[in-house]
Structure 1
Amino acid sequence: MMGHYALTIFLSAFLLFQIQPLIGKYILPWFGGTPSVWSTSMLFFQTLLTAGYAYAHWLVGRLSVRRQGTVHLALLGVSLGLLLVLGLVWDSP
């Protein structure tokens, strides 16, 4: 069981460090290549990571396992819906 936790933590860190430079490179045409763009991108993702930790801590302390799954599925549905809508509406740089 401990191996599952270690694998999950490693995979989440790996994915986070893959997404940060990718998004930073994607927004460069809009905001320029100054160091402040990279610093802001890193700050944004670290803030999201901290918010995710706080969300997980709050969820485990307040809801049952079944309700946690329901909340996760609802948030996944909302994020996929927003991704589809923004993908169709948002213009590329």
Structure 2
Amino acid sequence: MDLAVGVIIGAAFAKIVDSLVADIIMPIVSKVFGGLDFSNYFVPLAGQTATTLVEAKKAGAVLAYGNFITVALNFVILAFVIFLMVPLCQASCRS
């Protein structure tokens, strides 16, 4: 039962972190780097001439490294929060 609750809370927390990164952190990072939109960074692998990632994916294979940067940042934030939570959980279990 405890594991099920942990999985549900973890999934909900992951969505919060996704929103934090997509809606708060990445716009600030974009502003700092001159208004760049990381989500549209890609390398066309099928010779596409599209300007957005969505259009390029429709035309063929792409290497979407901008999305990878965003997902990696999500992971780093989640890992850091879990790293901080483990000692707190261990301390509360001892008492």
TM-score (norm 2): 0.45
Flag the structure with higher helix content. 1
Which structure's residues are more often strand, by fraction?
2
TM-score with structure 1 length normalisation?
A: 0.46
